[in-house]
């Protein structure tokens, strides 16, 4: 079906909707899959077929919109008047936008001081009821679960089953765009919902004859928040990649299954590796993603050098969110001199080295 249709229309046969389900859409999905032109050479793997799925081009700037269109549509269908979420930022931006479109009230609990500026700006302007809490994401989610129960508000975090159902459509798009299945799919892991959703999507395609194989799923946590890798929750997760600053992932078991069933891995990367990958994407490919998104490229670099990923493989990296959401990080991780120059042609030439 033509890509201008809402995600739910395009993949209706694979989603839990009926002919009467209202569709709340902002033009989500159908994001570009771009072939890298420089990175693989830089990484010493000229035969690598590296593709980047630009999920930051969704309407609110992250993949969360794929799940949110379905979660909000189903909330409207069930007669809900309000929705609630805990968020490291992108879920709140997405929930606020789709809820506004549907005429629902949206409550968001945010970990105070750890939400990227652009995401907060979105939630404010979309008109969400924002409640920063003195605690981290995992604590906020616990409150949200209680509030949803006690106050009869629909929870739209990824524990809402429709979120992952909507998000699995990204796997369908990857196979359509590649006209085949990649050898590896690399993805950042926070709450571990997205890796679980992709795996559902790939398995469903294989089962229904839309594909004859599935990729190895490689998920990457930030080292300071690598609960799954360590095998235990982390009380105080820390990483510069705020979208994956999560110490007790909600989809933990499903993510482990995705990795083991696909003969893949959940691994971790350091903040330094994340920032290096974040810069490489911008400088070599012209792609400005969130630090969290760059965790998958950091993981690719690690596994190419370990030999776990072959240098001639077909690899898809999922770049989960748009770099514009996090305008502070480039300034923090670069040392550019932004001191102004006199408005004088000769001085300008000198500064520019001419």
Ligand X SMILES: *Cc1c(COP(=O)(O)O)cnc(C)c1O
Chain contacts with ligand X (rule: CB under 6 A): 62, 64, 90, 158, 188-194, 243-244, 290, 292-293, 320-321
Which DSSP helix (H) or strand (E) runs through 218? strand 216-222
Whose CA is closest to 47, among 313, 316, 284?
313
Closest to ligand X by CB, 45 or 240: 240
The three-state secondary structure class of 216 is strand
**Nearest distance in Å: CB 320, ligand X:** 3
User: Which of 45, 319 has the CB closer to ligand X?
Assistant: 319
- Our CB check for ligand X shows the closer of 189 and 256 to be 189
Q: Which residue is nearest to ligand X (CB)?
A: 321
Kindly state the smallest distance separating residue 103's Cβ from ligand X, in Å.
Answer: 25
**3-class DSSP assignment, residue 267:** strand
CB of 111 to ligand X, least distance (A): 13
Partners of 53 in the beta sheet? 33, 318
* Residue with token string 């490291």: 88
Quote the least distance from Cβ 321 to ligand X, whole Å. Answer: 3
Determine which helix (DSSP H) or strand (DSSP E) holds 197, and give its type and residue range.
helix 193-207
- The H or E element that residue 319 is part of is strand 314-319
Residues 6+ apart with CB under 8 A from 334: 279
Using the minimum distance from each CB to ligand X, give the nearer residue, 12 or 257.
Answer: 257
Q: Which is nearer to ligand X, 6 or 321 (by Cβ)?
A: 321
CA 333 to chain centre: 21
Q: Minimum CB separation from ligand X for residue 162, in Å?
A: 14
Q: Which is nearer to ligand X, 163 or 302 (CB)?
A: 163
Q: How far is the CB of 92 from ligand X (least distance, A)?
A: 10
Handedness of CA 218, 309, 57, 70 (dihedral sign): negative
């Amino acid at each position: 079906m033509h890509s201008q249709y809402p995600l739910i229309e395009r993949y209706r046969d694979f989603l839990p909707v009926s002919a009467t389900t209202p569709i709340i859409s902002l033009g989500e999905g159908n994001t570009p899959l771009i072939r890298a032109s420089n990175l693989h050479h830089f990484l010493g793997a000229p035969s690598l077929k590296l593709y980047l799925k630009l999920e930051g081009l969704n309407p609110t700037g992250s993949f969360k919109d794929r799940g949110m269109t379905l979660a909000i549509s189903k909330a409207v269908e069930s007669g809900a008047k309000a929705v609630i979420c805990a968020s490291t930022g992108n879920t709140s931006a997405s929930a606020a936008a789709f809820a506004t479109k549907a005429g629902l009230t949206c409550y968001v609990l945010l970990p105070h001081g750890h939400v990227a500026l652009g995401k907060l700006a979105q939630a404010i302007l979309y008109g969400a009821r924002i409640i920063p809490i003195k605690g981290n994401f995992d604590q906020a989610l616990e409150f949200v679960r209680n509030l949803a129960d006690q106050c009869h508000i629909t929870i739209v975090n990824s524990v809402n089953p429709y979120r992952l159902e909507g998000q699995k459509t990204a796997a369908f798009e990857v196979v359509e765009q590649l006209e085949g299945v990649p050898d590896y799919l690399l993805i950042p892991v926070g709450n571990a919902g997205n890796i679980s959703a992709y795996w559902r999507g790939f398995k469903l395609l294989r089962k229904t004859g839309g594909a004859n194989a599935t990729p190895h799923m490689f998920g990457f946590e930030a080292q300071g928040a690598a609960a799954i890798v360590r095998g235990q929750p982390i009380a105080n997760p820390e990483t510069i990649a705020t979208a994956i600053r999560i110490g007790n992932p909600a989809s933990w078991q499903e993510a482990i299954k995705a990795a083991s069933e696909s003969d893949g891995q959940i691994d971790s990367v350091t903040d330094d590796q994340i920032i290096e990958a974040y810069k490489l994407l911008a400088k070599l490919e012209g792609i400005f993603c969130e630090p969290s998104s760059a965790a998958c490229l950091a993981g690719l670099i690690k596994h190419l050098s370990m030999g776990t990923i072959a240098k001639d493989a077909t690899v898809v990296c999922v770049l989960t969110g748009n770099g514009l959401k996090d305008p502070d990080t480039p300034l923090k991780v670069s040392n550019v001199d932004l001191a102004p120059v006199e408005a004088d042609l000769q001085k300008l030439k000198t500064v520019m080295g001419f």
